[in-house]
Amino acid sequence: MGYKNTRQCLDALEAEGELIRIDAAVDARIDAGAIQRRVFRAGGPALLFTNVKGCRFPMAANLFGTKKRMHFLFRDTVDTVRRLMKLKLNPMEALKRPWQYLGAPLTAYHTIPKRVSTGPVMQNVTSVSSLPQLVSWPMDGGAYVTLPQVYTESPAEPGFAGSNLGMYRVQLSGNDYLRDEEVGLHYQIHRGIGHHHAQALEKGAPLKVNIFVGGAPSMTLAAVMPLPEGLAEIFFAGAMGGHRIPMVRREGGLPIPAEADFCICGTVMPGAEKPEGPFGDHLGYYSLTHDFPVLKVDAVYHRDDAVWPFTTVGRPPQEDTLFGDFIHELTAELVPSVFSGVHEVHAVDAAGVHPLLLAVGSERYVPYAGERQPQELLTNGMALLGNTQTSLSKYVLIAAREDLEHGVNCHDIPAFFRHMLERVDLTRDLHFITRTTIDTLDYSGISLNQGSKLLFAAAGAPKRTLSVEMPSGMDLPRGFRDPQVFAPGILVIKGPKHRRKRDQQDPAMERLAAALVKAKGVEGFPMIVVADDAGFTATDWDNFLWVTFTRSDPATDIYGVNGFTHAKHWGAETAMVIDARLKTYHAPPLEPDPEAEKRVDALGAKGGPLHGII
């Protein structure tokens, strides 16, 4: 059976040699997060901080920090849940291989939460200021909960069936929040809690919210699971946890998991917003201060042996990368059933997940055509941009499965880019959606939550041979220098510092595009990227993907060598040029605290608890 609480989970990991205790005094401000990131990058164990400065609660980190550990935590249920998802895809599987689905009825039973009168989480009452005050990055606006499970129910249809469990940002201190009375609640667009909040606002009523920390690890996984709208995450948590989730009904409030370590109960009043942030986020930048809902705190509960699980987020890869990989394992076979004609998708972690989506679809609309071109692929791409979390994607690159050579798929990023760049018709195959909604955390757009998207489709035979030799006769305009070949067909150039305002194109980029027309061989580089540091950008694929797709808005920042606009369609006859410089309006990238890094180094020195790990 799955683990029911954090202590069970920690004990099992320690027995497996997958956890170490850090008894040295550690500050939750900056140091704890710096330690977690360093240990994660080293592929190290889970961590239990037993001596947190100024706080009586221990903290645990890196619980989900390796693929091995993730599978260990869910080893009793992962195969059954995967088979159940396959069963949804093809019910005949149960008739073909009934022995594989023997646990299915019991798993279905586990999805139903169990109502209980009380539980360990209700043993004690505390205050927000007594909780661990984790500050992960130097410019963070205050302390944050980084593994919260935010629970709401539909005001129109209360109950578990209409509930939402999501991992939304929770700010415990800082800014204008009243100490112990208020916390910030930052949720992004396209999130389930937004529907519940809208229903409450329509009724002019407060929205009840519970924030759980710890408990069954399946609850944490459920909070990040991109389930279809209408399917409650609490049901998935039971299936993944291998047991019915016991829920305590607090009189006049929402239910609380009996085995949670902590619970913050509160209400969001109509019209109650305050500045929230900044916060170092998973794109690798700070998300800046903006008004978001305020939760009025009614009560804070904790169990006797409470432990505060946490992670830190930053430029990928981080611990949340493992959640994405694990979720892909569970759901890969469901992609064709959710998106007809789409065979696989890859939200690229190195690019911050939402900025770049790679996909493979079918191109069957005109099988008799002499020259195949994207048609069904465009339908597939629009479906991806209109459903579930893939709708937040900024760049969608989609290839036809019929054209893929043996072994090429959208998880082989170098091969996939080469495939796309060999086949794209830049005069036809770039389709922009302008002034639309984008990820709240993406500051490349024209305003908060607003920017553009690019659907980049390619089908048919190769149209060009990609170059790996620098074009000759490159007379770059003033401020542009250091051109480098990054990969076949991809050129990176250092550009001058960006000085334009938001929602403006840069004449300097137009001059570059015009100058490149004269370069002999530039047609072998259909993708040209301009960056602040060409050497850094061209170091490896992780750097290239992060810089290119987190620092550009398609409509504002793409230019063309021999570019044109015809009947509102934009294209380029020779090459597309992406302006991936940091803009004047971008949020600053995350930088570690040098002094904190020195303290982490000391823990890794001989005799220290992290010696041999970092």
Give the CATH number for residue 167. Answer: 2.30.110.10
Same domain, 261 and 343: no
Whether pLDDT at 92 is above 50: no
Same domain, 121 and 147: yes
Same domain, 325 and 290: no
- CA distance linking residue 28 with residue 47, whole number of Å: 13
**pLDDT confidence of residue 97:** 54
Phi, psi dihedral angles at 113 (to 5 degrees): -60, 150
- To the nearest 5 percent, what fractions of the chain are helix, strand and coil? 30, 25, 45
The range of the structural domain enclosing residue 136 comes to 6-73+111-310
Whether pLDDT at 456 is above 90: yes
Final residue of a structural domain among 289, 310, 331: 310
Q: Please state, as a whole number, how many other Cβ atoms lie within 10 Å of the Cβ of residue 611.
A: 11
- Amino acid identity of residue 41, one-letter, is R
Phi, psi dihedral angles at 591 (to 5 degrees): -130, 135
- Asked whether the CA dihedral 428, 355, 461, 526 is positive or negative, the reply is positive
In 3D space, the residue among 214, 251, 191, 28 whose CA is nearest the CA of residue 120 turns out to be 214
Same domain, 286 and 418: no
**pLDDT confidence of residue 31:** 98
Whether pLDDT at 167 is above 80: yes
Is 577:530 a contact under the CB 8 Å cutoff? yes
Q: How confident is the model at residue 523 (pLDDT cuts 50, 70, 90)?
A: very high
Domain containing 353 — which CATH number? Answer: 3.40.1670.10
Q: Which helix (H) or strand (E) holds 13?
A: helix 6-15
Residue 105 lies inside a defined structural domain of this protein: no
Residue 123 lies inside a defined structural domain of this protein: yes
Residue 579 lies inside a defined structural domain of this protein: no
Same domain, 357 and 258: no
Residue 304 lies inside a defined structural domain of this protein: yes
Same domain, 66 and 156: yes
Final residue of a structural domain among 429, 458, 487: 458
Q: How confident is the model at residue 440 (pLDDT cuts 50, 70, 90)?
A: confident
- CA distance linking residue 325 with residue 503, whole number of Å: 35
Helices (H), 134-273: 192-203, 217-224, 233-241
| Section 268-290 average pLDDT | 95
- Asked whether the CA dihedral 233, 389, 68, 61 is positive or negative, the reply is negative
Same domain, 253 and 278: yes
Same domain, 306 and 323: no
Q: How confident is the model at residue 389 (pLDDT cuts 50, 70, 90)?
A: confident
Residue 432 lies inside a defined structural domain of this protein: yes
Residue 490 lies inside a defined structural domain of this protein: no
Same domain, 47 and 137: yes
- CA distance linking residue 575 with residue 64, whole number of Å: 42
Helices (H), 332-431: 335-338, 376-384, 413-423
| Section 465-493 average pLDDT | 96
- CA distance linking residue 590 with residue 286, whole number of Å: 6
% the chain with pLDDT above 90? 81
Residue 599 lies inside a defined structural domain of this protein: no
Whether pLDDT at 259 is above 90: yes
Q: Please state, as a whole number, how many other Cβ atoms lie within 10 Å of the Cβ of residue 49.
A: 28
Query: 561: which 2 tokens?
Result: 């060598």
Residue 89 lies inside a defined structural domain of this protein: no
**pLDDT confidence of residue 86:** 62
Domains in the chain: how many in total? 2
Same domain, 18 and 155: yes
* Higher local confidence (pLDDT), 248 or 89: 248
Same domain, 276 and 362: no
| Section 569-595 average pLDDT | 97
pLDDT in tens, 180-202: 999 999 987 667 798 899 999 99
Coil, helix or strand for 20?
A: strand
- CA distance linking residue 20 with residue 72, whole number of Å: 16
Coil, helix or strand for 456?
A: strand
Final residue of a structural domain among 274, 292, 310: 310
Whether pLDDT at 96 is above 70: no
Whether pLDDT at 94 is above 80: no
Same domain, 121 and 182: yes
**pLDDT confidence of residue 82:** 73
